[in-house]
Amino acid sequence: DSRLPFLGIMGAAIFATVGFTLGTLKELLVKIRQLNHEIESKNRELQKVVFHDPLTELHNRRYVSEFLVGQVSIFLRQLTTPEFAMRNLGVEEKVLFLMVVDIDHFKKINDSRGHGVGDEVLAQVASRIRDAVRFDDVVVRWGGEEFLIVCPMVERKAAELVMRKVLDGVRSTP
């Protein structure tokens, strides 16, 4: 049949086009994956900028506002579970413990030693607090020389131990 060479040429052209399209599609998918990775990386950087204090590298007020809403929601949901009622646990046994730490006479440090030294004091106190708390606790630079520590779902006695450890850690070295 005289059409066979023509069909062969058409088949080869279609195959080449499909091959080119599949190769291009593969390249596009690789590029999309790379761009998605870059977007995820930029989003992590943005989250750090939005939710962290640059001086102390602690979480900031914006973060803790969202965190507390989530913690209260979790706590209320747990109160309504049958397991909670069956264990006969009282609300008093587990608390959402908040502690504010304020550096006494901080203005004197800034006034007499300068803001650079004041910044170093803030960074040191933040580090000591972070070292003193438990893994699940959240430390926040609340503002100025104030820090907030959030201990979610903690027994009261454990909360008191955290508080004592934080105070001892901050006071341990001038």
Catalytic positions are: 145
State how far the Cα of 146 lies from the Cα of 142, in Å rounded to an integer: 5
Burial tier of 149 (Cβ tally within 10 Å: 0-12, 13-18, 19+): buried
3-state secondary structure the chain: CCCHHHHHHHHHHHHHHHHHHHHHHHHHHHHHHHHHHHHHHHHHHHHHHHHECCCCCCECHHHHHHHHHHHHHHHHHHHCCHHHHHCCCCHHHEEEEEEEEECCCHHHHHHHHCHHHHHHHHHHHHHHHHHHCCCCCEEEEEECCEEEEEEEEEEHHHHHHHHHHHHHHHHCCC
